[in-house]
């Protein structure tokens, strides 16, 4: 049997798709509890041509409108995953999910937009951007890009400006790990932060001390520890905490906002907590696996199972997961990503004799929305409104596309999910929609099931069936100067005013 129908006859012609798929471009989601980050109410949601037109109780419509029953269920903004790697060719062989299969999986799990990390091509940011535009042509949901910076010169600086001013990029990622490949030193990090600030673009960091990681890896190999457990042992949380603290202090020195991707440890989280407490604009992004899993899997006697869990920074000891959950519920961390980066077991097997050669990456793009609901809402740690904020709204605000995305409001894009809190989900590689042959959450069950996904006003997931069209996803341009930049110029002016005129000293004759 097939898991999803691919409608290929109507590339980019949404009307045709609509007729083939749902029969109407007008939808009414009836009687559900509509949840936004600021408010929830029982209401109907009326959609026309991909946009939410009205949110009110008892909306009356004609019979040309498709009505979807949501009584007793939550109607929420589709998830936005701030951290994915589809069709990635970096360090390791290519990932198995491309912009079509990864997005199809996302839609089946209630995520309706993602922001992927575009890589430079032969050192050029603009060539890298164009390369990703090509890769994303087969998209079936909306997407944006962050751009990775892996070296520094005048050309890179100019290209950053062009990407922000003309191409809809408003964030740049710097790798403090992957020594000899993408790792950048503090000098470059400072140059990059300054440029980001001048452009109103958000600086993001992969925070692990790459020199320490390299040292740790050498040590494990010398000790004869070559299995997946060597991955965790070689890069303990102290190297994540150190890099996180360093990046935060350098961003403070430059006075620019900072976004720390994949926060996996208490060490890193506490650096973020301390900075935020002092008033610094630092965003911390844990990922679904950091909330749901721990490092014990890396000691599994079956290599194929253990290798699935290799990702960087690594999963930590039990306790870090709970601390990250608590940090999310108290606002120390602000949103949840996945770092979805899909490799098959045959690719993971490249590192059978040496953990350093195991492709780094785990799945999550399809599972995140269910896991966060189960782990955070069902446990009583957060409310449905908090859930919307952590999985959608805050991401839209940080990347400056709110309330087009991240809200159920008149004028917002019709990216909507219906979650049944009384139903349950079960995760397995046998039923997931990613091309991966394994799943790090194999066999996991939980409460809450996303029964319907509406993306761009189209019903793409219903009755456990996907109806997706390659080419129907749109590139979402993200403008610079998000709310994180508000007030920075005032702080800069106060700092400049505080500098006294140079001290006049009498010349001392020798």
Select from 171, 312, 363, 412 the one that contacts ligand URP (CB under 6 A). 312
Closest distance of CB 170 from ligand URP, Å:
19
Closest distance of CB 132 from ligand URP, Å:
15
Q: Which is nearer to Zn ion, 167 or 206 (CB)?
A: 206
Instruction: Please give the backbone phi and psi of residue 27, each rounded to the nearest 5 degrees, phi first.
Output: -130, 145
Q: Among residues 339, 323, 326, 316, which one has the least CA distance to residue 237?
A: 316
Q: Which is nearer to ligand URP, 361 or 403 (CB)?
A: 361
Q: Which is nearer to ligand URP, 106 or 419 (CB)?
A: 106
Is residue 372 close enough to count as binding Zn ion by CB under 5 A? no
Strand partners, 46: 28, 54
Select from 5, 9, 12, 19 the one that contacts Zn ion (CB under 5 A). 19
Q: Which residue is nearest to Zn ion (CB)?
A: 206
Q: Which is nearer to ligand URP, 361 or 473 (CB)?
A: 361
Q: In angstroms, what CA-CA distances link 393 with 104, 387, 479?
A: 21, 9, 16
Instruction: Please give the backbone phi and psi of residue 500, each rounded to the nearest 5 degrees, phi first.
Output: -80, 160
Closest distance of CB 280 from ligand URP, Å:
23
Q: Among residues 305, 291, 366, 292, which one has the least CA distance to residue 84?
A: 366
In the list Zn ion, ligand URP, none, the entry touching 360 (Cβ below 5 to 8 angstroms by class) is ligand URP
Closest distance of CB 207 from Zn ion, Å:
9
Buried b (16+ CB within 10 A) or exposed e, 491-510: eeeeeeeeeeeeeeeeeeee
Q: Among residues 170, 186, 175, which one has the least CA distance to residue 399?
A: 170
Q: By CB under 5 A, which span of 22-30, 294-302, 303-311, 367-375 interacts with Zn ion? A: 22-30
Interface with ligand URP in residues 347-406 (CB under 6 A): 360-361
Residues in the interface with ligand URP (CB under 6 A) total 8
Strand stretches in 322-395, DSSP E:
none
Q: Which is nearer to Zn ion, 207 or 376 (CB)?
A: 207
Closest distance of CB 439 from ligand URP, Å:
17
Strand partners, 232: none
Is residue 311 close enough to count as binding ligand URP by CB under 6 A? yes
Kind of pairing, strands 79-84 and 171-175? unpaired
DSSP string, 424-439: EEE--TTT-SSS-S--
Spatial CB neighbours of 408, under 8 Å, sequence gap ≥ 6: 34, 35, 36, 45, 52, 55, 75, 76, 77, 416
Show the tokens assigned to 166. Answer: 């003309």
Select from 4, 14, 21, 25 the one that contacts Zn ion (CB under 5 A). 25
Show the tokens assigned to 307. Answer: 């290798």
Is residue 206 close enough to count as binding Zn ion by CB under 5 A? yes
Binding mask 84-123 for ligand URP (x = CB under 6 A): -x--------------------------------------
Is residue 341 close enough to count as binding ligand URP by CB under 6 A? yes
Give the binding site for Zn ion (CB under 5 A): 18-19, 25, 206, 339
Give the binding site for ligand URP (CB under 6 A): 85, 206, 311-312, 339, 341, 360-361
């Amino acid at each position: 049997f097939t898991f999803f129908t691919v409608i290929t006859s109507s590339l980019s012609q949404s009307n045709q798709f609509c007729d083939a798929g749902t029969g109407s471009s007008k939808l009414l989601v009836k009687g559900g509890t509509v949840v936004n980050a600021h408010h929830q109410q029982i209401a109907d949601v009326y959609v026309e041509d991909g946009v939410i037109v009205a949110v009110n109780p008892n909306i009356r419509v004609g019979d040309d409108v498709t009505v979807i029953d949501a009584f007793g269920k939550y109607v929420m903004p589709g998830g936005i995953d701030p951290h994915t790697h589809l069709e990635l060719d970096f360090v390791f062989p290519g990932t198995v999910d491309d912009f079509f299969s990864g997005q199809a999986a996302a839609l089946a799990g209630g995520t309706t937009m993602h922001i992927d990390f575009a890589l430079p091509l032969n050192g050029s940011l603009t060539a890298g951007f164009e390369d990703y535009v090509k890769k994303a042509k087969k998209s079936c949901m909306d997407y944006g890009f962050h751009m990775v910076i892996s070296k520094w010169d005048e050309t890179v600086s100019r290209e950053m400006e062009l990407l922000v001013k003309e191409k809809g990029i408003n964030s740049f990622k710097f790798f403090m790990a992957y020594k000899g490949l993408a790792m950048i030193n503090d000098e470059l990090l400072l140059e990059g932060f300054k440029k980001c600030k001048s452009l109103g673009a958000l600086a993001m960091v992969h925070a692990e001390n790459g020199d320490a990681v390299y040292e740790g890896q050498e040590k494990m190999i010398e000790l004869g520890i070559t299995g997946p457990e060597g991955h965790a042992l070689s890069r303990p949380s102290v190297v994540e905490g150190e890099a996180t603290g360093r990046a935060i202090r350098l961003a403070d020195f430059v006075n620019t906002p900072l976004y720390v991707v994949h926060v996996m440890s208490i060490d890193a989280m506490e650096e973020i907590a301390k900075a935020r407490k002092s008033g610094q604009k630092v965003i911390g992004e844990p990922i679904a696996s950091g909330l749901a899993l721990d490092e014990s899997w890396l000691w599994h006697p079956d290599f194929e199972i253990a290798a699935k869990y290799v990702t960087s920074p690594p999963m930590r000891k039990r306790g870090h997961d709970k601390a990250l959950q608590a940090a999310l519920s108290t606002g120390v961390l602000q949103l949840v990503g996945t770092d979805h980066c899909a490799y098959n077991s045959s690719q993971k097997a490249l590192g059978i004799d040496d953990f350093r050669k195991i492709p780094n990456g785990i799945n999550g793009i399809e599972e995140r929305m269910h896991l966060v609901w189960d782990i955070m809402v069902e446990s009583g740690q957060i409310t449905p409104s908090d859930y919307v904020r952590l999985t959608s709204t805050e991401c839209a605000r940080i990347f400056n596309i709110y309330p087009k995305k991240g809200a159920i409001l008149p004028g917002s894009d019709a990216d909507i999910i219906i979650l049944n809190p009384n139903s349950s989900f079960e995760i397995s590689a046998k039923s997931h929609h990613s091309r991966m042959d394994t799943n790090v959450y194999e066999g996991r069950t939980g409460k809450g099931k996303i029964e319907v996904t509406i993306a761009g006003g189209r019903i793409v997931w219903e009755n456990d069936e996907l109806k997706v069209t390659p080419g129907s996803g749109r590139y979402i341009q993200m403008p610079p100067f998000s709310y994180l930049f508000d007030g920075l110029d005032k702080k800069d002016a106060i700092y400049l005013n505080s500098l006294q005129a140079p001290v006049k000293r009498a010349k001392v004759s020798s």
